[in-house]
């Protein structure tokens, strides 16, 4: 077992409580069914309570779930995924440093395509360009997916667009809010960052070993830290109500699989077309570009089939961006 992984038995405890949602389940029965002592059951119940799961304890008769928990436990997520290859195995953490780190370690040990690593909290969540990713406990979705695509390393950037598109579709479907995608990988809501994607890979010159797609979505944050307040938001902050995270994660993993298959079956041009239709940044947007040491203003002028963004400077010169970042100029 990967160190720190949620014990499969805690997962069974969550499952047992959900299955008996309206009933009081006796402590000794839980202990016997999952094969631990009563004091371990009590300790784990306390752990779940600390994550916001409402469990009522009756001294002489047992425990009763007060509301369905919104924990991204494998036993609650996997049954919703049907035949999805992505998520066939889910490795869950209450807390870890970065799900991308864990996924990379697992991939190096031969973990198969489709394995998902998810955490309720990250202590060293990483963003692009060496930034950190704010990963408050049980508020967001912090997930990394191991892909082993039959593609050349040069095709890897399109996988970021696949993930951005999947996140866009999942959030639109579940929350019904007008999300936008900013090239290459930011999910925006009402102009502020709602989610981001960190794609990392291990490869040889001509062969991809594994690609780790790390996705962070701000779901139920009640406030963002002062330094992020102006640029980042959460579904709860914008929608004025909390959102269940399990359906968002399920939709995300299903959409990721759907768009990954689209890439393999129809090629990157099909992905890029859909990406451009979902984003207001693909064409005609005035932006400030930061790429390598360069910084300038330009207008976006469409995407290439490999995912590169074409921008036009005021003097008419065009340039293809393969990395970097853009912000809208108002
Ligand atoms: C960005 O916009 O800069 C990318 C943010 C990516 C954050 C996610 S959260 C899950 C995964 N684990 C990490 O450490 N980072 C990614």
Query: Which ligand 1 atom sits nearest the alpha carbon of residue 196?
Result: 2
pLDDT for position 1: 66
Q: Which atom of ligand 1 is nearest to the CA of 185?
A: 2
Q: Is 238 exposed, middle or buried (0-12, 13-18, 19+ CB in 10 A)?
A: middle
Say if ligand 1 is within 6 A of residue 131 CB. Answer: yes
Q: Ligand 1 centre from 99 Cα, in Å?
A: 8
Ligand 1 atom nearest the C-alpha of 135 is 9
Residue 60's pLDDT is what?
85
For residue 197 and ligand 1, the question of a CB distance below 6 A is answered with yes
User: Which numbered atom of ligand 1 lies nearest the CA of 186?
Assistant: 2
Nearest CA to ligand 1 atom 10: 142
Protein residue whose Cα sits closest to atom 15 of ligand 1: 126
Per-residue pLDDT at 4: 72
From 121, 198, 211, give the residue whose CB has the most ligand 1 atoms within 8 Å, as the site to mutate: 198
Residue from 101, 127, 140, 234 to probe ligand 1 pocket by mutation (most atoms less than 8 Å from CB): 127
Residue nearest atom 16 of ligand 1, based on CA coordinates: 214
pLDDT in tens, 69-103: 889 999 999 999 999 999 999 999 999 999 999 99
pTM: 0.93
127-141 residue pLDDT tens: 998 999 999 999 999
Parts of the chain with a pLDDT under 50? none
Q: State in Å: Cα 129 to ligand 1 middle.
A: 11
CB distance 196 to ligand 1 below 6 Å: yes
């Amino acid at each position: 077992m990967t160190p720190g992984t949620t014990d499969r038995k805690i997962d069974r405890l969550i499952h047992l409580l959900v299955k008996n949602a309206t009933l009081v389940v006796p402590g000794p029965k839980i202990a016997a069914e999952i094969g631990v002592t009563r004091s371990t059951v009590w300790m784990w119940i306390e752990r779940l309570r600390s994550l916001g799961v409402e469990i009522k304890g009756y001294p002489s008769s047992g425990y009763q779930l007060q509301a369905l928990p919104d924990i991204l436990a494998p036993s609650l997520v996997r049954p919703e995924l049907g035949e999805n290859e992505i998520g066939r195995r889910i490795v869950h953490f209450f807390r870890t440093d970065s799900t991308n780190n864990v996924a990379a370690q697992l991939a190096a040990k031969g973990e198969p395509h489709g394995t998902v690593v998810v955490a309720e909290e990250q202590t060293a969540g990483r963003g692009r360009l060496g930034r950190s990713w704010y990963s408050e406990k049980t508020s967001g979705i912090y997930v990394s997916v191991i892909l082993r695509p039959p593609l050349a390393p040069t095709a890897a950037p399109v996988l970021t667009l696949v993930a951005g598109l999947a996140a866009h579709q999942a959030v639109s479907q579940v929350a019904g809010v007008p999300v936008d995608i900013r090239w290459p990988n930011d999910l925006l809501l009402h102009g502020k960052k709602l989610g981001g994607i960190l794609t990392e890979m291990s490869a040889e010159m001509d062969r991809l070993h594994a690609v780790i797609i790390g996705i962070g979505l701000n779901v139920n944050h009640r406030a963002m830290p002062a330094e992020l307040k102006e640029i980042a938001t959460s579904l709860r902050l914008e929608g004025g109500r909390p959102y269940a995270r399990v359906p968002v994660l399920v939709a995300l993993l299903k959409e990721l699989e759907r768009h990954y298959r689209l890439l393999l079956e129809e090629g990157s041009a099909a992905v890029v077309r859909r990406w451009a239709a979902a984003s207001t940044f693909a064409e005609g947007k005035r932006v400030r570009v930061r790429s390598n040491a360069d910084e300038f203003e330009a207008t976006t002028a469409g995407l290439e089939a490999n995912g590169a963004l074409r921008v036009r400077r005021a003097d008419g010169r065009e340039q293809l961006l393969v990395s970097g970042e853009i912000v809208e100029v108002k």
